[in-house]
Amino acid sequence: MRVQYFGVIREIAGRRQEDFEVSGPRTLLALLKLLTDKYGHSMEAYLFEPKSTTPRPIHNFLVNGVVHTAGQISDVTLEKDSVVSIVPTQGG
């Protein structure tokens, strides 16, 4: 699975993208939790509402080019060849 990072999240991860080996399908929410385990508190604070596992609504999550909102990510199943992009919404 490939994960692409944009904006601040790219700064936190220190890279534009990375590949993960996964065995079987997992949810988009599980992937975000894996990223917080890997990158620590800064990633957690940026992706999730304080002291919860609710994703912050300021992000767009694209899976294979299809946009999913924060409220949908626990229902989105990822496969080993999925491409996930995490893009913060732009403020004006």
- Return the CATH number at 82: 3.10.20.30
What pLDDT is stored for residue 92 in this prediction?
Answer: 44
For the whole model, what pTM was predicted? 0.88
Structural domain for 27, as ranges:
2-88
pLDDT of residue 90: 66
pLDDT, tens digit only, all 92 positions of the chain = 999 999 899 999 999 999 998 877 799 999 999 999 999 999 999 999 998 888 888 888 999 999 998 888 888 999 889 999 998 876 54
What values do phi and psi take at 47, rounded to 5?
-85, -35
Query: Using CA atoms, how far apart are residues 3 and 53, in angstroms rounded to an integer?
Result: 19
- Please give the tally of structural domains in the chain: 1
* Cβ partners under 8 Å of residue 91, min gap 6: none
How far, in Å, CA of 66 to CA of 48, rounded?
Answer: 21
